[in-house]
Amino acid sequence: MRGRVRFLDTRPLRSSQPFRDLWIGTSVSQLGGQIANVAVLAQVWDLTGSPVGTGAIGLATGLPMVLFGLLGGTLADTVDRRAVVRATTAGQLLAAAGLCAQALAENRNVLLLLALVATGTSCSALGAPSRRTFPVRLLPGDQVAAGLALTNVSFQAAMLAGPAMAGLIIARWDLPAAYATQAVAMVVSMLAVIRLPAMRPEGADAAGGRRRPERGGWRIVLRRPTLWGSMATDLSATLLAMPIALFPLVNEIRFGGNPQTLGLFLSAVAVGGITAGLLSGTVTRWRRGGLVQLSAAGVWGLALACFGLAGPLWLALGCLAVAGAADTVSVVTRSALVQLETPDAYRGRVSSVEHVIGVAGPELGNFRGGLLASATSASFSLVFGGLSAILAIAAVAATNAPLRAYRTQPAAAKPTAPEVADAAAAAG
């Protein structure tokens, strides 16, 4: 029994029906999102034929993540988090319908396409901090990391299946069908959220009214080395070494622009990620979470630098698979550390910072990679980015002893009232 659990800890799905509903809805929406991402990438490349154009997708998603993600953190600490996620999921559904409509109208304006992408991303960013607090409220403390790992496994599975499904859907029914699939997935996600219990921030009044968040959300991040160090590690890896915007260019230069190869690039990352995810029962039991995240982020940068030099297709796919595995380990350990280290009164705002870094960082990294590749080459952009990420991560490790030494408790509990008071006092 113990060996099986180490492969995949499914206790959260058995112990909490609300978490199970949330996981199902999130998994379906992630699959739809991956299908739509491939459609957007293909449509922008068709309209522009430029790595700057595909990199602009990162800009259209990264900026809304920063602006609305931080606002979403304040909302998550002020009002019922379930209500926030309901409203923002409805906004994502409308944006998906807009993408479908513009594809049916055979839109040739890339700005309109990017505006719709930005709209959907804005809604996602506004609700993400609230959504990120759900597992720690729905699960016992010692199952939080396992719940986050299950969510990551479903994301990696969506990355694996989504590009292949997108290729089949686009080839047979064209772009509108891919966007329509995302819209249907968002309906499923909405139904799952509706079934969740109300989740007001701790300290909100019983009638559900809004409250003024306790001050100090940002200060908690800055004053706790484990928090800012974990987030700085993730930002170093994604901002400096994100490769997705370069996939079409690498595919065209090295592999003749075969659309099946483009899908393989995305799927290879997911293969590595889901393989690591299936071993998440072991990863979530490692207590040295900070050291694990630092190591995994370094492997990510090294693997992508090697991808920039890889000639044969099998070697390129192998490097991407290693990168995907390292990313999964890094994400799982970072997410658990942030949620367990943050008192509930500040969890929405701290989650918004984590979300901005974890999602906007990769998108802005894609934009950076596209710009550098247009000025130099895809290989130079990948190698330089990967090595730069390694150096930045090493700098975080060298200057942040608390993160290197961080250990999770054997059975982490939810923050208690004294912990919240201590955090407020530390925040000043």
Most confident by average pLDDT, 94-103, 261-270, 324-333: 94-103
Q: Count how many Cα atoms sit within 13 Å of the Cα of residue 232 in the half-sphere of its side chain.
A: 20
- Judged against a pLDDT cut of 60, whether residue 215 lies above it is answered with no
Residue-wise pLDDT tens digits, 125-152? 899 889 988 988 898 877 877 888 888 8
> CA quadruple 234, 64, 189, 262: dihedral positive or negative?
negative
5 within a domain of the structure (yes/no):
no
Three-class SS of residue 105?
Answer: coil
**Measured distance CA(123)–CA(93) in Å, rounded:** 9
Length of the chain, in residues = 428
Do 200 and 80 contact (CB within 8 A), yes or no?
yes
Element (DSSP H or E) covering residue 146: helix 144-173
Residue range 190-209: average pLDDT?
A: 75
Burial of 14 (0-12, 13-18, 19+ CB in 10 A): exposed
Q: What is the pLDDT of residue 356?
A: 73
**Measured distance CA(265)–CA(247) in Å, rounded:** 7
Percent share of the chain, pLDDT over 90: 36
Number of structural domains, the chain?
1
146 within a domain of the structure (yes/no):
yes
Short-list 187, 168, 188, CA closest to 178: 168
Higher-pLDDT residue of 255 and 317 is: 317
3 within a domain of the structure (yes/no):
no
Residue 258 pLDDT level (bands cut at 50, 70, 90):
confident
CATH of the domain at 377: 1.20.1250.20
Residue 213 pLDDT level (bands cut at 50, 70, 90):
low
- Is the full-model pTM beyond 0.85? no
Residue range 119-126: average pLDDT?
A: 93
Short-list 108, 96, 99, CA closest to 47: 108
Short-list 58, 52, 60, CA closest to 374: 52
Residue 117: domain span? 15-199+216-427
210 within a domain of the structure (yes/no):
no
**Measured distance CA(206)–CA(185) in Å, rounded:** 33
23 within a domain of the structure (yes/no):
yes
41 within a domain of the structure (yes/no):
yes
Residue-wise pLDDT tens digits, 383-408? 999 999 999 999 999 999 988 888 76
204 within a domain of the structure (yes/no):
no
49 within a domain of the structure (yes/no):
yes
Q: What is the pLDDT of residue 281?
A: 64
Contact residues for 234 (Cβ-Cβ < 8 A; gap 6+): 293, 297, 330, 331, 334, 357, 358, 361
